[in-house]
Structures are given as C-alpha cells and as structure tokens.
Amino acid sequence: MPYQSILEKIHAEIVPTLPQGRVADYIPQLAHVDPHKFGMAVCDTSGGIACVGDAAERFSIQSISKVFTLTLAMQLEGERLWQRVGREPSGTSFNSLVQLEYEQGIPRNPFINAGALVITDMVLSHLGEAKLALRELARKLSGGVDVCYNPAVAASEAGRGYRNAALANFLKSFDNLRNEPADVLDAYFHHCALSMSCTELARAFLYLASHGQHAGTALITPSQAKYINSLMLTCGTYDAVGDFAYRVGLPGKSGVGGGIVAVMPGLFSVCVWAPGLNASGNSLAGTRALERFSELTGQSIF
Ligand code: GLN
C-alpha cells in the first residue's frame, strides 16, 4: 500500500482546514501550542513507517496515555479490574461528574477521566512508581529512549485540575480509590504530560495491531489486545465515539493535545496530530485526516 503518497495527499488537503479547530486552553500550557501544526505517521506490522508534516515533533499525548495505563493494569490485575470500572460508552464528556454519582462511583469505562483515575490507582497500588512504569512502557514500545514527561504541562494541569480533583475525591468517597487522591492525581497528570511524536506513537501502538506482541514477545495476550481495541472503538473518543466510528471505522484513542492514534488489527497503527479540537475534545482536523486515510486506503475494520 503506497502509504507515503496517501499521507502527502491528506497533508495537502488538511492544512487549509487547521484553523477551524480550537486548541485546548483549560490546561494553560496547551493553549500556547501552534494550531497550524500537522503530523501523521503510519507504521505497518512489518515495521515499515511512512510519515508527513510535523510527524517527528513531540506533543502532549494527554488521554492517549490512558491506553498505556490500561495495558499495565491488565497485565497486573487481569479481569479483576472490571470490578471497579465499567466498559460501556459514557455518552458524556470526558471529565463529567454527574454520571459518577448516579452509578455509585463506578466509572463507565477506563478512557473517561474518572475511569483512568481508578486504573491509575490500581497501577499505583501494585507498583508504587506508576510514573516510572508508564514512562518505561512508552519508551520500550516506541523505541524513543528519551521519551519523558513535560513537567511544565503536568504542573500546569495540576494547578488548574479542580475537576479531576473533584472526580478523584468523589471516587475516594465511594471507596473506589485505594491510594490518596493527591497521589493518584499526581501520577495521572504526569501520564497525560508524556511528550511523544506521531512516529513514536504509531510505533508504540503496533502491539495492538499485532495481537499483543511487541518485538516478538507477548506484552499482553491476544484476547487482551482485542479487549483494548474494542474499548477504543466504543469509548476512545468520548461522546463523539459514534461519529468517529462511522467516519473512520477504526478503533482510536484521542487526547486534548490534538493527537489521535488508530489501529487496524493485523495491518497497521496510525497517529495524527493537529492541536485544534472539536467540541468533544477530539482533534478536528485529525479526525478528518483519519477519515480520509480510511477512504483512500479502503481499509477499516468493517
Ligand atoms: N489531562 C486531560 C484531563 O484530564 C486529559 C483529557 C483528554 O485528553 N481528553 O482533562
């Protein structure tokens, strides 16, 4: 498949639309990101990579990190993790509080903030050093030996993290956090503040296109890779997940830094970065770029 020429065509089409999105500004550090950035990278299961635009520039991966945290929690807890978090789409925004009260402190899924806080709590209970563990996983999977947290982004979010603090305290009140909310939040904000590029993320997500295999060894089981892909398809882009599935036809996970990673099991993983967001907090141009990618390649899971 001529991925390189397809990416170049998408790049040319998408660039004029970049100003239409709105960069996230509730995390002050993200408000400074240039809305004209655009990068895209595709990695096939044999390791070949094609990329375009700003694909080598690192950005804040934000909620894309929730896939790595869930991967660690699956390794550590297996199926027990479903006692503390659901696996249904939420139909609400990623940082909504209201559903958590109705549903007695059990978040709908691991990809909304409340769910990711519970998952982070599990990793913290097992490993103590949740920040180190996640950074090491991101380095190993991406091959980026110097992948690291951006401390200014983590501090910026912590300084304004009232909503996530409310969610963490709420979860604690329902006995669904084992650690102190402040410790869980600190790990969570750091996870969101990992800086990675499109090429690094496309490489890092290859295990989900390869039935859980990374570099010839099983990172997770084939069933667990299926579970994570299914969750990305049904919950990975929040209350826009139906629209994303309709248009792109691939499991995907977005972050408010403007990145989206999508996976075609057996074939490739693809990452796009365009910082301007739509109303649901997903990259506006990034969603469009992935839609064009599935149209031009004729590839989707359907
Ligand atoms: N760190 C962000 C938050 O907790 C992540 C949200 C996102 O990327 N959707 O609000």
Instruction: Supply angle C-alpha 107, 133, 122, rounded to 5.
Output: 30
Report the chain's mean pLDDT, rounded to a whole number. Answer: 97
Instruction: Output the CA 9–ligand 1 centroid distance in Å.
Output: 30
Percent of the chain with pLDDT over 70: 100
Instruction: Output the CA 257–ligand 1 centroid distance in Å.
Output: 8
Q: What is the pLDDT of residue 92?
A: 85
The DSSP result for 190-205, as a single string, is HHHTEEE-HHHHHHHT
Q: What is the pLDDT of residue 93?
A: 87
Q: State the SS3 of 268-298.
A: EEEEEECCCECCCCCEHHHHHHHHHHHHHHC
- Over residues 169-188, the mean pLDDT reads 98
Q: What is the pLDDT of residue 72?
A: 98
Atom number, ligand 1, closest to the C-alpha of residue 113: 4
Instruction: Output the CA 46–ligand 1 centroid distance in Å.
Output: 32
Q: Check pocket membership of 282 for ligand 1, CB cut-off 6 A.
A: no
Contact 254, 248 (CB under 8 A): no
CA distance 202 to 208: 10
Instruction: Output the CA 154–ligand 1 centroid distance in Å.
Output: 11
* pLDDT tier for residue 94 given thresholds of 50, 70 and 90: confident
Q: What is the CA radius of gyration of the chain?
A: 18
Cα-Cα-Cα-Cα dihedral sign, residues 275, 280, 284, 287: positive
Q: Check pocket membership of 95 for ligand 1, CB cut-off 6 A.
A: yes
Atom number, ligand 1, closest to the C-alpha of residue 116: 4
- CB-count burial class (<10 Å; 0-12, 13-18, 19+) for 254: buried
Beta bridge partners of 252: 262
Contact 30, 152 (CB under 8 A): no
- Over residues 252-268, the mean pLDDT reads 98
Q: What is the pLDDT of residue 108?
A: 96
Q: Check pocket membership of 157 for ligand 1, CB cut-off 6 A.
A: yes
Give the pLDDT confidence of 7-48 residue by residue, as tens digits.
999 999 999 999 999 999 999 999 999 999 999 999 999 989
Domain covering 3-297 in this structure, CATH number: 3.40.710.10
Q: Check pocket membership of 156 for ligand 1, CB cut-off 6 A.
A: no
Q: Which two tokens stand for residue 291?
A: 């839609």
Nearest alpha carbon to residue 51 among 266, 270, 222, 205: 270
CA distance 91 to 259: 21
Q: What is the pLDDT of residue 256?
A: 97
